[in-house]
C-alpha cells in the first residue's frame, strides 16, 4: 500500500520516508490537504495529514470518492476533522495521542522569556550595532505568579520549569494534576488566576467549550503588565479582542505560537504577498508581541515520536487492530 502524506516539511520528509521503509511506500507532498488538493489523493487508500489540513465534510467526501479509507493525522489535536462525516463515509481516522510534552512546554517558556527580556528587539538592534539598553528592561520571574490554564502533560512540564524559577503556581483545569499539586500548585477559579498571575500560559485543547477561553472580558481581567503565552491552539484567544487590549497599551508581552486563522498562512512562505488578514497584520506590528508559526512541537524528539505513532496507526489499520489513537474505527 502506498500512503500519500500532505503538508510535509522539508525536515520531516527523510524521517517519514525512513520510518515507513520496509512497511509501505510513502509519497510526501509539501502542499496541505484542502478542497483544492484533495483530488491528488485519488487512488490512495491511506493519507497522512498535518494539523493545518482542512478535513471538513466536503474534503472527506472527495477523499472517500477517490478511494481513501484511512486518515492518519500527524498531530494530537483533531478539531479540524469532521468526525461525524468521517464515520458516515466509512473512513478510519487516527491521530497521535502523545508526543514529548517538553517540546511545547520548553518553547512556551522560550516565548515567555523572549518577550519578557525583549530578546528580539535586542537582537535586531545589535545587528545594526545599536547597543543601547533603552526599552529592554524585563523582570525577574523568581517570586512572581504564573497561571497555568490546562495542567495535563504539557501544563505539568511547564509548571515544573516554573517551579525551578521559584514562582508561585496557580492552576485551572477540570481535574487537578497530582504532579502539579506536589510542586505546590494551588488550583483556583479562572477569574482569580487571571487577576493574580504575572504570566499566563494556555495548555488546553480547543473544543466548543474552550473556544475564546480568553475572550474580551477575560483579557480585561488580566493585569495590565501581565505576560500572555499561547502555544496550544489559536482559537483559545479572541484575537480581535487581544488587539484591542494591546492598542490600549496593555500587557508587558504576548508570545503566540498559534493563531486562530492560521490555516492557509502558517507553514508556507507568504513573504512576497500582501497579507489580507488585517488582524494578524496588526498583531505583528506591536513591539511587545512575538508571533511564531506553530513550531512549539518541532523538535527531533517530538517529530520522531509523531512519525513513529503515525506508522503504527497505518500498520494497525492494515492489520485490523484498534489502538487508543483511533478516533473513528474501521467499519
Known catalytic residues? Answer: 233, 262, 294
- C-alpha 80/C-alpha 260 separation (Å) is 12
Q: What is the DSSP string of 41-67?
A: GTT-SEEEE-TT--BSHHHHHHHHHTT
Distance CA 191, CA 107 (A): 26
How many angstroms separate the Cα of 214 from the Cα of each of 63, 149, 273, 294?
35, 10, 31, 19
Q: Which residues contact 288 (CB under 8 A, 6 or more apart)?
A: 115, 246, 251, 252, 253, 254
Q: Which cell is 193 given? A: 488566576
- For residue 89, give the C-alpha cell: 463515509
303 membership: H or E segment, kind and range? helix 300-319
Number of H helices, E strands in the chain: 12, 13
Q: Which of these, 117, 110, 111, lies nearest to 137 by C-alpha position?
A: 117
Going by DSSP bridges, is the β-strand pair 92-94/70-73 parallel, antiparallel, or unpaired?
Answer: parallel
Cell numbers of 189, please? 477559579
Q: Which residue has the cell 517570586?
A: 143
Amino acid at each position: 500500500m502506498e500512503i500519500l502524506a500532505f503538508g510535509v516539511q522539508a525536515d520531516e520528509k527523510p524521517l517519514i520516508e525512513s520510518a515507513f521503509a520496509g512497511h509501505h511506500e510513502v509519497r510526501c507532498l509539501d502542499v496541505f490537504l484542502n478542497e483544492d488538493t484533495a483530488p491528488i489523493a485519488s487512488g490512495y487508500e491511506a493519507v497522512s495529514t498535518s494539523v493545518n489540513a482542512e478535513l471538513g465534510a466536503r474534503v472527506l467526501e472527495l477523499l472517500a470518492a477517490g478511494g481513501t479509507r484511512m486518515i492518519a493525522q500527524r498531530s494530537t489535536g483533531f478539531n479540524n476533522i469532521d468526525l461525524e462525516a468521517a464515520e458516515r463515509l466509512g473512513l478510519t481516522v487516527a491521530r497521535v495521542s502523545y508526543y514529548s510534552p517538553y517540546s511545547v512546554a520548553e518553547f512556551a517558556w522560550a516565548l515567555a522569556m523572549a518577550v519578557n527580556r525583549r530578546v528580539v528587539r535586542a537582537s535586531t538592534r545589535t545587528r545594526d550595532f545599536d547597543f543601547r539598553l533603552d526599552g529592554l528592561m524585563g523582570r525577574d520571574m523568581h517570586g512572581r505568579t504564573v497561571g497555568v490554564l490546562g495542567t495535563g502533560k504539557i501544563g505539568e512540564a511547564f509548571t515544573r520549569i516554573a517551579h525551578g524559577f521559584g514562582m508561585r503556581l496557580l492552576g485551572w483545569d477540570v481535574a487537578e494534576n497530582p504532579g502539579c499539586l506536589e510542586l505546590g500548585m494551588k488550583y483556583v477559579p479562572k477569574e482569580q488566576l487571571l487577576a493574580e498571575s504575572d504570566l499566563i500560559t494556555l495548555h488546553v485543547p480547543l473544543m466548543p467549550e474552550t473556544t475564546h477561553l480568553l475572550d474580551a472580558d477575560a483579557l480585561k481581567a488580566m493585569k495590565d503588565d501581565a505576560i500572555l503565552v499561547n502555544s496550544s491552539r489559536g482559537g483559545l484567544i479572541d484575537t480581535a479582542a487581544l488587539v484591542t487590549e494591546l492598542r490600549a497599551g496593555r500587557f508587558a508581552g504576548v508570545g503566540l505560537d498559534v493563531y486562530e486563522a492560521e490555516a492557509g498562512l502558517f507553514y508556507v512562505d507568504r513573504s512576497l504577498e500582501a497579507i489580507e488578514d488585517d488582524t494578524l497584520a496588526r498583531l505583528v506590528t506591536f513591539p511587545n508581541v512575538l508571533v511564531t508559526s506553530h513550531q512549539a512541537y518541532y523538535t527531533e524528539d517530538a517529530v520522531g515520536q509523531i512519525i513513529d505513532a503515525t506508522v503504527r496507526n497505518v500498520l494497525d489499520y492494515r492489520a485490523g487492530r484498534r489502538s487508543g489513537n483511533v478516533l473513528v474505527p474501521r467499519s
